[in-house]
Amino acid sequence: MRVAGRLAADVLDMIGEFVVPGVATDELNRICHEFITGKQDAVPAPLNYRGFPKSICTSVNHVVCHGIPGERKLKSGDAVNIDITVIKDGFHGDTSRMFFVGKPPIQAERLSDVAFESMWLGIEQIAAGKHLGDIGEAIQKNVEKNRFSVVREYCGHGIGRVFHEDPQVLHYGRAGTGLELKAGMTMTVEPMVNAGKRHVRLLPDGWTVVTKDHKLSAQWEHTVLVTDTGYEVLTLGANDR
């Protein structure tokens, strides 16, 4: 899991310089696919997963998650979440980051900052003996304090040899409730934070999720190991804390 997590983070470290005005999201997909399969000798987990047609997810502006790379060209001011999951030696590493094309609008930057901060507040709750509700409450409180909203239909998840497995890691909730965490568990924490209301809808392609009010959404994600004394983040990038 440590190896897979590091590889996933390396993909995000690599792709940042290519997120520029005029690049098509499918070109970002191609670059990531070749990096994962070639340089890393790994497998892009999303490709053909339940019929998903690409190797990464690119969710731009009001797309909440599971955006399918295509011919759309990014323009200055766009915010895009790139979600990477690699499989190495049978284990999955799953992580995502926000990237800005050119100079971001003030609200987009603030939304991304709150999503990032909220993810870390949730991660910092993780330790053996704590509960899933501790993670959810920490995230929800910070998001709503900043007058944004937490998407409820999509959440974090257990991960290991399987891409998505129990438990579900909700990004809202009440401290002290839910499954008790035990050392050795691995899971993702990946809050989706909307600038407007929390409500979302699924597009006819069966994958792309957008905000119902078409306001911006932002997301950050890490894969995290529960330890006896706390947590270990398995998907830290080169510049992460």
Q: What is the mean pLDDT of residues 72-86?
A: 97
Predicted TM-score (pTM) of the model is 0.97
Q: What's the pLDDT at 26?
A: 98
Q: Do 221 and 119 contact (CB within 8 A), yes or no?
A: yes
> What residue ranges in the chain does DSSP mark as E strands?
43-44, 57-60, 63-65, 79-88, 91-100, 149-150, 156-158, 165-169, 186-189, 192-194, 200-202, 209-211, 217-219, 222-226, 231-233
pLDDT bin (cut points 50, 70, 90) of residue 241 is: low
Q: What is the mean pLDDT of residues 224-230?
A: 95
Q: What is the mean pLDDT of residues 32-51?
A: 98
Q: pLDDT digit string (tens) for 146-198?
A: 999 999 999 999 999 999 999 999 999 999 999 999 999 999 999 999 999 99
Share of the chain above pLDDT 70, in %: 100
Does residue 137 have a pLDDT over 80? yes
Q: How many CB atoms lie within 10 A of CB 160?
A: 16
- Comparison of pLDDT for 89 and 238, the residue scoring more: 89
Alpha-carbon span 159 to 126, nearest angstrom:
15
pLDDT bin (cut points 50, 70, 90) of residue 240 is: confident
Q: pLDDT digit string (tens) for 53-65?
A: 999 999 999 999 9
Region of residue 199 (phi > 0: left; psi between -120 and 50: alpha; otherwise: beta): beta
Q: What is the mean pLDDT of residues 107-127?
A: 98
Q: What's the pLDDT at 178?
A: 96
At 178, list the tokens.
């839910």
Q: What is the mean pLDDT of residues 113-126?
A: 98
Phi, psi of 187 (to 5 degrees): -155, 165
pLDDT bin (cut points 50, 70, 90) of residue 239 is: confident
Cβ-proximal residues to 237 (8 Å cutoff; 6+ apart), any chain: 9, 10, 12, 13, 97
Cβ-proximal residues to 7 (8 Å cutoff; 6+ apart), any chain: 36, 40, 42, 86, 88, 93
Nearest to 44 by CA among 29, 59, 58: 29
Report the greatest alpha carbon distance in the chain. 48
Q: What is the mean pLDDT of residues 82-95?
A: 98
Nearest to 55 by CA among 35, 77, 78: 35
Share of the chain above pLDDT 90, in %: 98
Does residue 227 have a pLDDT over 80? yes
Mean pLDDT, the chain, whole residue set: 97
